[in-house]
Chain A
Amino acid sequence: MSRVVLVNIARFFLLLMLQVMVLNRISFYGFLNPYVYILFILLLPFETPGWLLLTLSFVSGLSVDLFAGTMGLHAAAAVFTGFVKPGVVKLVGEKPDYDITTQPTLKEMGFKWFLAYAATMTFLHHFVLNFVDVFSFREFWQTIFRIILSSVFTLLFMLLIEYIFTSRKENR
């Protein structure tokens, strides 16, 4: 139990640092803004109670906000991501054999499941984030374009991170 907590705390800080120090400082062609910090919310254990899930989502969003200078923007998107998480798990997770100690990682749930899960969550997060940022539907298609491109990049980064960690565990 305590090991799971420690792993999640470490993950929170590592992803925050990656987001703030590296990913926030690069941008490709003005459209691609990968937001990998939501991987923290994605990888929270299934049995995390609802209030804790929302609080942790809010805290992670707010910490990114503090560094990006966009007060409340990431917090709003992250809380939304936390809110839809149980629903998305139910939607994607038709796997009957996951028990209470399983975590929604690539290693434990398999590539197909994780891809569907992460893609849905990432898209929903980016959708809320970009539309809250633009705050109008006047540039609708441009915003959609931005959302899709950024989602693809975020997803690639997530899979990369997941593969790095998975292979390391197997080598031991």
Chain B
Amino acid sequence: MRNLLAFIIRYHFLLLFLLFESLAMVLLVNSTYYQRSILQTAGNSMTGRFYSSVSNISEYLKLRRTNELLANENAMLRQMKGISFLKTDTNTFWVKDTLYKQQYRYIVCRVINNTVGKRNNYIMLNKGSRHGISKDMAVITSNGVVGTVVNVSEDFSWVMSVLNKQTKISGRIIKNNQMGTVVWNGMDHTIGTLTDIPAHVKIAKGDTITTSGFSYIFPANIMLGTIQDFRVEQGEHFYVIPFKFSVDFNSLDYVYVVKNLLKDQQEQLEKSTEVKGNE
């Protein structure tokens, strides 16, 4: 016992260092893989309040009121557009049946904190679970895709920007309907990369990339960007396609959080099919 104490006293500097380092690592791992711990949520609402007040000052130059009105109006209009509705034409029609069923709802939010310079970038929004936002909702602007909600507190939500190592969005080249995966290589906040497009497909500079709509998060045909360049690495069978983001991540202000009203239904269907397949 005495030896143990002597050991601890002798090496207390190193031991304390290891203790703090492991504590930091636990925090880091939890926040990365379990999409931020409870501690972080508590921190969010505290720092969120701070950021809102800072952003309130900086917003003075942006004519707050006018913008808010316009953004609200846009959200309403978008909700009425055909793209937000799922076509449900069946053979039998009931009196109360409608041709279109609402699939997406749009919640307008303000960006109160945002980075573009890091390898993993996140965005904080000024609305949270109280306003109907929850995890795994898409975040877009009128220009295109911004990111995915990864965590919410009561009044704020935390969005993983497309400018992140973990980004994997299913994208599609409009011209020939080819599906690929959008990632970000961490270099330039205006350039993304589309991968997994087979090398035999004909593509050209300037082709438009949009979301495929195959995920339950993003609606289809939301703009991602335009192809800037393309190449096939030696020995590979797929293109590497750098493209210019349609969204300027450095000047985000108002964004829409997209709520997929049919997500549960879609996921449940997939899950029940999987279970049957395993039996």
Please give the residue numbers on chain A whose beta carbons come within 8 Å of chain B beta carbons, in ascending order.
21, 24, 27-28, 30-33, 50-51, 54-55, 57-58, 61, 65-73, 75-76, 79-80, 82-83, 130, 132-134, 139, 142-143, 146
Contact = CB atoms under 8 A, between A and B. Distances in A.
Given A58-B24, A79-B24, A71 B17 contact: no
A172 B115 CA distance: 41
B36 interface: yes
Contact of A134 (B30, B31, B124, B165): B165
Given A50-B12, A51-B16, A69-B124, A75 B118 contact: no
B12 to A, nearest CB: 6
Given A72-B31, A139-B186, A27 B115 contact: yes
16 contacts: A33-B117, A51-B12, A54-B13, A54-B20, A58-B23, A58-B24, A65-B27, A67-B50, A67-B51, A69-B122, A70-B120, A71-B27, A71-B43, A72-B26, A72-B28, A76-B28
B118 A133 contact: yes
Contacts of A146: 119
A72 B36 contact: no
Given A58-B20, A72-B30, A130-B119, 8 more contacts: A32-B117, A57-B20, A71-B39, A71-B40, A72-B23, A76-B21, A76-B28, A82-B17
A75 B30 CA distance: 14
A19 to B, nearest CB: 13
Interface residues of B, number: 42
B43 A66 contact: yes
A24 B115 contact: yes
Given A30-B116, A69-B113, A71-B36, A132 B28 contact: yes
B158 interface: yes
Interface of A, secondary structure class, is helix
A30 B17 contact: no
B40 A134 contact: no
Nearest 7 A-B pairs (CB), nearest first? A27-B117, A72-B27, A72-B28, A76-B24, A71-B31, A50-B13, A75-B24
Contacts of A66: 43, 46-47
Contact of B17 (A33, A54, A132, A133): A54
Contacts of A73: 24, 28
A142 B187 contact: yes
B27 A21 contact: no
B119 A61 contact: no
B26 to A, nearest CB: 7
A17 B20 CA distance: 24
Nearest to A24: B115
Interface string B1-45: 000000000001100110011011111111100001101100110
B47 to A, nearest CB: 5
Contacts of B248: none
Nearest to A86: B13
Given A21-B54, A50-B12, A72 B117 contact: no
B189 interface: yes
B73 interface: no
Contacts of B186: 134, 139, 142
